[in-house]
Amino acid sequence: MKRLMLVRFSCRFRINLQRFGYTPGRGIKWEKDLNTHDSIRATRPFAGTGLLALALLMIAALFPGQASAERVFTAPPRESKADGEKLYGPVADLLTRVLGEKVVYRHPRSWLHYQRDLRQDKFDIVFDGPHFISWRIRKYGHRPLARLPGKLGFYTLVESANERVNQVSDLVNRKVCVIAPPNLSSLALLNEFRDPIRQPRLLTVKGGMKGVYRAFRDGKCDAMVLRDQFYNKKIGDEDKQKLRIVFRSKRFTNQGFTASSRIDDAGVARLKEALTQAQPELVPLLKRFAPKADLLLDAQRRDYLDDYRLLSGIIVGWEVD
């Protein structure tokens, strides 16, 4: 009867390679102190540099499917962890039911962690903005699933009495109140300044568009970037008379869902169908981002063709080639 390989995990573990044809009594043992993080060491002399790799492969073989036991769904950390779980947890439940495999919502610790993990393609399903979607499609072959209706556009504004700024190029070396990159609003402005030496000075503000508008009114900057809908709906006519638009961005396709290449064609088709139908799990998301919408719309690659350039051409680390 073949000998069984024994793996014992405690503070220390050992791997016996007898199963792979080594003479009993002369098998090579590996030890690692998990508490002190000592380097792996051999307790007996050995020949061949590939034995460590073989041992690690054996560990992986003992736990088939461990890494792919569940799918990971995420979205940008715009909310607290508790609010993120409340908003996206039901969506993960819907995705689980549709795919027939466990999908968990993972709330990013911060924007830095979110960007790092996106660049490493750690997520299977993501809901976020058009520049991220376009980048994942281009870099990793993600496939768009569904999107919010409507478009995203941004205005760069100055005080109407400001005679020093008449066009967007006049903002070089001037202070502009924005939401911190990689928010789409600030990147839409920076996209107009491809020379890194000749750019506006960004004053990043917390509190969303309200915070940006408040900082501008407090005199902290020469200009500000607002979403067009915020300008149209939240600023009164009297205050609009005091402002002047010096730049209108292109109108971007709205936020949406993508699936990684690790999800097969059949799974993508099921996700597309489910996400574009009325689902109670999607109601809070629609209410949060598109209050007047009843459904998500089908999303296609052509909706996000070149938006990746807002990342790859502006922020270091987002190269696609």
Final residue before a domain boundary, out of 198, 226, 249: 249
Which pLDDT value is given to residue 274?
98
242 and 294 share a domain?
A: no
Q: Using 50, 70 and 90 to split pLDDT, how confident is the model at 50? A: low
Residue 95 CB: number of other CB atoms within 10 A?
28
Alpha-carbon dihedral sign for residues 71, 75, 76, 77: negative
Give dist(CA 56, CA 90) in Å, integer. 37
16 and 130 share a domain?
A: no
104 and 145 share a domain?
A: yes
36 and 77 share a domain?
A: no
According to DSSP, residue 22 is labeled P
Give dist(CA 180, CA 80) in Å, integer. 17
Query: For helices 265-275 and 81-99, what crossing angle results, to 10°?
Result: 120
Which pLDDT value is given to residue 206?
95
Check which CATH number belongs to the domain holding 174 and give it. 3.40.190.10
- Number of domains the chain is built from: 3
Residue 37 placed within a domain: yes
CA–centroid distance for 90 within its chain:
19
147 and 257 share a domain?
A: yes
192 and 259 share a domain?
A: no
- Residue identified by tokens 């520049």 is 131
158 and 225 share a domain?
A: yes
Residue 261 placed within a domain: yes
49 and 91 share a domain?
A: no
197 and 276 share a domain?
A: no
Is it the case that residue 60 has pLDDT exceeding 70?
A: no
Give dist(CA 303, CA 137) in Å, integer. 11
What is the residue type of 292? K
* 3-class DSSP state of 104: strand
CB 140 within 8 A of CB 259: no
Percent of the chain with pLDDT over 70: 79
Is it the case that residue 308 has pLDDT exceeding 70?
A: yes
Report pLDDT digits (tens) over 188-222: 999 999 898 999 999 999 999 999 999 999 999 99
Domain ranges, residue 271:
71-151+253-312
Backbone angles phi, psi at 253, to 5 degrees: -60, 145
Which pLDDT value is given to residue 14?
37
130 and 197 share a domain?
A: no
Residue 91 placed within a domain: yes
Report pLDDT digits (tens) over 71-104: 999 999 999 999 999 999 999 999 999 999 999 9
| Minimum mean pLDDT range among 23-37, 78-92, 106-120, 128-142 | 23-37
Residue 205 placed within a domain: yes
Enumerate the β-bridge partners of residue 225: 156
Report pLDDT digits (tens) over 235-250: 999 999 999 999 999 9
145 and 158 share a domain?
A: no
CB 193 within 8 A of CB 172: yes
Whole-structure pTM value: 0.78
Which pLDDT value is given to residue 24?
43
Final residue before a domain boundary, out of 39, 62, 85: 62
- Listed in sequence order, the residues at least 6 apart from 98 whose beta carbon sits closer than 8 Å to its beta carbon are 270, 271, 274
Residue 54 placed within a domain: yes
Residue 145 placed within a domain: yes
97 and 165 share a domain?
A: no
Residue 318 placed within a domain: no
DSSP 241-304: TTEEEEEEPPPEE--EEEE-TTS-HHHHHHHHHHHTS--GGGHHHHHHH-TT-SS-EE--GGGG
Residue 319 placed within a domain: no
What is the overall mean pLDDT for the chain? 84
CB 36 within 8 A of CB 74: no
Radius of gyration of the chain (CA): 26
